[in-house]
Amino acid sequence: MMRFSVWAASCAALMLSPALEAKPLYDATITRTTFGVPHIEARDWRSVGYGVAYAYAEDNLCLLAEEFMTVAGERSQYFGPDAKAVLGFQEVDNLSSDLFFRAVIDLPALRDGAARKARESRLLTEGYVAGYNRYLRDIGPDGVPAECRGKGWVRPITFDDMLRLTEKQMLLAGSLALAPALANAAPPGAPEAGTAAAKAAALPRPDEPGMGSNGWAFGSETTTDGRGLLIGNPHFPWKGPNRLWQMHIIGPDGYDAMGVGLPGFSIPAMGFNRDIAWTHTVTAARHYTLWQLTLDPADPTRYMLDGQSVAMEPRVITVPMPEGAAPVTRTLYRTRFGPVVAAPQNGLLWTAASAFTVGDANSGNQRGIETWLAIGKASSVREIKAAVSQTLGIPWVNTIAADRGGHALIADVTAVPNVSAAKIAACSTPLTRQLAQLAPLLDGARSECAWDVAAGTPEPGLMPASDQAATLRRDYLTNSNDSYWLANARIPHPPLSPILGRHAAELTVRTRSNFTETEALIAQGKVDHARAKALVFANKSYAADLTVKPMLALCARLPEPRRGCDALAGWDRRFEADSRGAALFRAFWARAAHIPGLWAVPFDPADPIATPREPDTAGAGDKLLFALDQAVAELDAANIPLDAEWGSIHNWPAGDERIPVHGGPGTAGVLNFQDSRPAPGGGLMPVHGSSYIQIVGFDAAGPIAEAILSYSQSTNPASPHYADQTRAYAAKAWHRLPFSKAEIAAAAISKPKRIAE
C-alpha cells in the first residue's frame, strides 16, 4: 500500500506543473453509449492509449491487474504455488505459470524490440501505462472494486508490464499452451523431474475446445446492395483473462475504427471503419515447431549439433512464495532452437539420450499492433492483405474482411515457422509422424534443420506471405478453424506446407455445418443483415441432422421403448433456449462421435462437405444405443429431465439471476458455439464460445454495424454493464452501433469525460 501511496503522491505533484496544465501530454475524451461502449477521442497516439487504458480499467480493473501480476510471474507469491492460473485455455498450477513467464519472457530483448518499433506503437504503449495509473490514482485504494480491494498485486504498472502482457497475447495460441511442459522440464536425476506437474505435462490436443471462431466475408455477387458484408463470430472465453472488450477509437491522422480487443490492446483487433470490416478466426497453422535433440552421452545438458557437443544455456529461475515461505528455485535450459520442454504424456521425455526443444515464431513478435493499426486505417481489403503480408505480425489467426467495394478476403497469413513439406520430410525423426497432429518435429542434431530464412521477411525464419494462403473473391469466403484448403465450397486451395494445416482432409462437423448453411443461404437469395443474423443464431446442429433420423429408425426396431429415444423424437434438433432434448443430444454426441466405424459412407476428399455421413446403424447400432443409454444415465445423475428446456439448465449466473443462454457444442455442428461445463449448484454454464458477434455492411454515409458482446463489457458485478449485453444476447437482440459523432451524441448514456495530464 505504501508503494501505491508514494507513487500516487509523486504523480499528483507532477499534475500541478503549470507546463503540463498548459499543454497536457495526455488528453482524451471518453463518451459511453448503450451498454457502456466507450468512444475514445484523442489528438495523438499517446493519448489514445491513455484513454483506452482508463476506460478499460473502469470496466475490468481486477482482471487486468491480475494479468499484470500473472505475466510478472508472481501468482505463487499471492495465491500459493498449488492454486490454478488460466493460461490460454487451460488451467495450470501457479508455480508452473510463474516459471514459464520468468523463463520465457526476455525483457532486455523486448525492450530492444520496442525501441525499434514504429513510433505509433510505442506511443500507444506509453499512453496505456499512464492511463491505467491515472485511473488507480483517481479511484484511490478505497475505490478499487471489492473483488481485488486491498490486494498487493493491484499496483501502478510500468512499460515493462505492458511488454510482458503483449508477449503473452502473442503466444496465446502457441507455446503458451506448452507452459507446463516448459516450466517442468528437467534433466534426468534432477529432483523436479519427479514432481506430479512434471509427470503430467502434455502438449495440447488438437481436438480439445480452444480458441475457435466463425467468420464470413460476402462480396458483391452475393449481397443485396452489391457492397461487402462481414459476419464476425469469434469464440472466446466468457471468464478469465482472454475476454474481448468493445471500443471505438477516434484518433489522429483520420483513424476512426470500432471493434474489440484483448486486455492491454489500445486499438481494435477485430472491427470496422468507414470502408472495411474485418474479423479473425484461429488458424489451423502451427506457430511453433519441436526439435528432438541427440544428447552428449557424457552430460544430459549438452547436445550434439553437426557432430559437435554444445552446452545448453542454464537459466536459474527464482519464484517468490507467500510470506514466510522460501522462494522456489529451478534451473531451466535453452538451446539454439529454443527452450527445452518435456511432455511425458506425449512421449517427449528428457532422458540420457535425447531431449526436446521448442521454437515459437511469435516469440518477441511486437509487430501485431503495427498490423492492426494498418488494418484500422485501410480502405480496401487489398490494403489489409498488404498489411498482414508485409508485417507478418498477425500472430495466430486468419484475417477475414469485406469492403464497401464488394470485395471479400481471407488471409491465412501469420507469423509461422518457415518449414516446407520437404524440410519436414528431410528432417524427420522416428517420432515425427506420431506428433504430426500436434506440431512438426525436426531433427535437432543438424543445424540444417533450423527454420529456413527467406529474403524480405521482418524476422529471419518466418514463412513469407507468398508461401501462405490468401484469397480474394466477390462471392463469399468463410472459415470455422479448419485448414486453409477450403474457404469457399467451390474453390479448394492448392496444397501448401503441412505446418499451415492439413490438405484434402476431413473437415470438422462445425465447418461442414458452415458450408452447408452458407451455400443454402446463398441459394435462397442474396444476403443482407437480417439473413446474416439468422445464419449466426440458427442454433442448428449439423450432427443431429446427420444422426437423429437414423437413430429414431434404430429405436423403432427395438422390442421395448427407450426413454432416450422418446426424448430425441421430441427434440427440434436445435440449441435454442426453449429446445427440449438438447441436453440429451449433447451428452449422447460426446460419446457417439468417437465410435469407431460410425459412418457407413466414409470421408471423400472429392465431396468434403457431405462426407462422412449415414450412421452405420447395422454395424454400430449397439454402440449407438449404448451411448444413448449412457447419456440418459448422465442426465439422471445430474437430476436433469431428458426433455428439459435447454435454457433452464444452460444459463449464465448474474447474482441471483440465471440468464438462459442459447447455442451449443461446436463439435455437434452448432455454429453459435457454446462450450459448457457443470455449474455450481447444478446445470451447465457457458465457459467458451460466441463472444463479440458483429454484422457489418456499408451505405453511402459509412458502416452499418450491428453487434452484441455475449458476456458484456465489465467483469465487475457492481457495474451496470456486468450482464446487460448477456440479457440482450439471450433475447437475440442485436445492437446498432453508433459510429458518427451525431450517432454517438444521440446514444450517449452519460456526459463525455475528459481526462488529461
3-state secondary structure of 673: strand
DSSP bridge pairs for 277: 272, 402
Q: Kindly state the cell numbers that stand for 5.
A: 501511496
Residue in 521, 513, 517 with CA at minimum distance from that of residue 589: 513
Three-point CA angle 130, 131, 135, nearest 5°: 115
DSSP letter, residue 665? -
- Give CA angle at 106 (102, 110), nearest 5°: 135
Annotated active-site residue in 213, 513, 676, 710: 213
Distance between CA 367 and CA 384 in Å, rounded?
15
DSSP string, 38-89: EEEEESSHHHHHHHHHHHHHHHHHHHHHHHHHHHTT-HHHHH-TTSEEEETT
Q: For residue 325, which amino acid is it?
A: A
CA atoms within 13 A on the CB side of 609: 16
Nearest Cα to 673, choosing from 239, 213, 262? 213
How many CB atoms neighbour CB 724 within 10 A?
Answer: 18
User: 3-state SS string over 381-441?
Assistant: HHHHHHHHHHHCCCCCEEEEEEECCCCEEEEECCCCECCCHHHHHHCCCCCCCCCCCCCCE
What percent helix, strand, coil does the chain show, rounded to 5? 35, 25, 40
d(CA 748, CA 533): 25
Size of the chain in residues: 757
With vertex at residue 395, the alpha carbon angle to CA 394 and CA 401, rounded to the nearest 5 degrees, is 40
Are the CB atoms for 337 and 291 separated by under 8 Å?
yes
Burial class (CB within 10 angstroms; exposed 0-12, middle 13-18, buried 19+) of 150: exposed
Angle at the Cα of 694 (from 693 to 695), degrees rounded to 5? Answer: 135
Joined grid coordinates for residue 715? 467483469
What is the DSSP-derived secondary structure letter of residue 489?
Answer: T
Q: In DSSP terms, which residues pair with 408 in a beta bridge?
A: 402, 473
Please count the other Cβ atoms lying within 10 Å of the Cβ belonging to residue 531: 18
Q: Is position 712 annotated as part of the catalytic site?
A: no
Closest CA to 697 of 367, 417, 405, 366: 405
Catalytic residue positions, numbered: 213
